[in-house]
Structure formats: structure tokens, C-alpha cells
A = this chain, B = another copy of it.
Amino acid sequence: MPSESDGPGEEPLAEELRARFKGESFSLGILLQTQGFFSFRDNDFIGGRSWDLGSTRIDFRGTVDRNFTYRVRVYYLSQQQSIDARVGYWFNADTEIVAGAFKPFLSRELDPSPGRTDFVRRARFVGAMMNSLEVGTSLLGKTGPLNYRFGIYNGTGVQGMRGNTDNRFLYTGRVFGSVPVNGHSLIMGLSAALNQSPDARVGNSGLTSKGDRYFYGGYLDYRADTFFVSTEWVQTFFDAVEYGNNRETITGFHATAGFRVGPRHELLARYDYLDFRLIPDARDRFLAGLNYYPSSLITFRLNAIVEPDRRAGTQTGVAAVFQYMF
């Protein structure tokens, strides 16, 4: 969140870019992230000691005549790429249907753009349980005080897009709303999903779901003037092919707090929990973060990460991202 105290004329180039390239029928977006990782031990904790490109993408989108929308977003990952492309239609001011490849609205932690996450990386449960892109269709809307998202997807991510002939789907649902607390909004939401795709990869966990996979969770989010707190709990269970089709249950959780400490700086703290029933591994991770916004287009994030582990000893590392986002 770049400083809102910047008056007009303080960023003439950014204003010129927005005037030229951010419109209703056509909007160009560019996100460039460069990252650095440093594990204090000479191992591969949080990526070892290395440089990386983060989420680097270009997108084109707009709303055109008769309430149709389009968006194509190309993610460049060194020699690979991933594509988020969707076409949509607004039935009315409250209800849109979208089809294509996009984020499946499973978890609030997955919602924000990679350029607007609180930390350098999302909470670990996102990667462990979800594909960041799914191919399918989704209904987005609002009824009274409740917002909803219902989707039907192939359930195999964009990786499994070609040759996806299992004829089974991932069904997702989410409802959320907000209540006023001290003049600000407390957002509350619930998610659930059923993935019937057989032999589907479970995020980046390295596990494969034999048959039906169930997912559910909930979150709270409260943002005041100078601080915010947010938390989310999610769980998924399925029969893991790698463990003789035994029932695996993955549980994830984060609790995060952030404080604005000046017009251009934020301090953050997070507890990140991830547990596999069948795989013994470190569950807890603690993060401290500093976000610096030198301009409305540039962000610098610095994270310190600590992972206590009784077996392997406590691991520590530092991660940073330097980002241009338009």
C-alpha cells in the first residue's frame, strides 16, 4: 500500500503511464519481480543462496460493450510460462460469469496479485494444497450481504490441461461477508471444494490424490487505519497414492499482523503452520517482514524467516524482492 499522502504531481511519470494505459476498455499491466534468497546455513532452505525472478507478467484486460470482459495475463518463468486468460460476462451489476484459466478462488491467501502479497511468498499451505491456476468456469456474485464464488474446473491445473480426459471436475464454493467493527470492516469467509479428478497432483506437495479430494477452510481479516490482522485455516484430505492409498490430511494456517510505521513503510509478522499427517516435517515457521514503497510503482520487501526443527536444528534465512508493478 503506497503512501496515500502523495499528492497529484508528485509522480508525474506514473500519472502519465496511468492516463495512457489504464482505461476501461483496455488496460496494460506489467509486473517485474527480482528476488534474492539467503539461507544462513549452506543448504537449500527457502531456496538456498540464490537470485531468482519472481512473478514476472504482462497483462491486457478490459470491459467492452454489452458487459463483456476479457483478460489475458502471461506469466514468464525463465524458460517457461503460464497463462491466465479469461472471458467474462456481467449478467447484472452484481453477477459475473467468467471462463478460462485463472485462480480458483479457493483461499483468501491465494487471492491477491503476486505483486500485492504481504510477504515475499504466500503462506506455505497455498502451494501445498492448490494449483494457482485452474481451467474452468466460475460464477461471481453477491446476494444481500453475502458474496459468493462457485466454480467448476478440470481440477488438474494448467499443467494437466492438455490431455485432460479424466472427465471429472473440481467443484468449488466460497461465501464471504463483512461486519463493521470500530468503524472498519471485519471480513469473514468460508471455502469448500471437492476435486473428483483421479490421480491428480496435490499442489506442489509431491503427493497424488487417488480419488476424491476434499478441501475446506475459513478466514478472518480486519484492516484499520494503521494496522491489520488476518488469519486463515484450511484443511484437505484424500487417499495418497505415494502412501499406499492411505488417507492423508494436510492442515494449514497462518496468523498475520501488519503495522504502518510511516508513509512508506510497513512492518509485518506471521506465524505459518503446515502439517502433513503422513509426512514428518517441520510444521512451524515464523516470519518478520519490512515492506518499503519508494513510489507507487516500486516495492521492496525484506523477510526474515525462522523454522524451529527439533531434528534438524533451527533454520534461518532472509528473502527479499524488488518489484516494479504497473
Interface residues of A (CB under 8 A from B): 10-14, 16-17, 20-21, 24-26, 30, 32-34, 36, 39, 42-44, 47-53, 56, 58, 60, 62-66, 68, 70-72, 74, 76-83, 85-87, 99-101, 135-137, 152-154, 158-159, 161-162, 164-169, 294-295, 297-298, 322-324, 326
Contacts and interface: CB of A to CB of B under 8 A. Distances in A.
Contacts of A24: 13
B65 A165 contact: no
B48 A79 contact: no
Nearest to A325: B70
B65 A14 contact: yes
Contacts of A17: 25-26, 62, 64
Copies of this chain present in the complex amount to 3
Contacts of A153: 51
Contacts of A99: 34, 36, 51, 322
Given A11-B66, A44-B167, 16 more contacts: A12-B65, A13-B25, A14-B25, A30-B70, A32-B70, A32-B72, A34-B99, A51-B99, A51-B136, A51-B137, A51-B154, A53-B100, A58-B60, A70-B324, A76-B81, A79-B158
A127 to B, nearest CB: 14
**What are the 10 tightest A-B residue pairs by CB atom distance, in nearest-first order?**
A44-B165, A70-B324, A48-B165, A34-B99, A49-B167, A13-B25, A78-B161, A34-B100, A11-B65, A76-B83
A13 B51 contact: no
Contacts of A76: 72, 74, 81, 83, 85
Contacts of A44: 165, 167
A291 to B, nearest CB: 16
Nearest to A166: B48
Contacts of A11: 64-66
Contacts of A101: 34, 53, 78
A83 B167 contact: no
Nearest to A73: B76
A168 B168 CA distance: 45
Given A52-B135, A164-B50, A295 B66 contact: yes
B297 A65 contact: yes
B50 A100 contact: no
A151 to B, nearest CB: 10
Nearest to A15: B65
Contacts of A162: 77-78
A103 to B, nearest CB: 15
Contacts of A72: 30, 32, 56, 58, 76
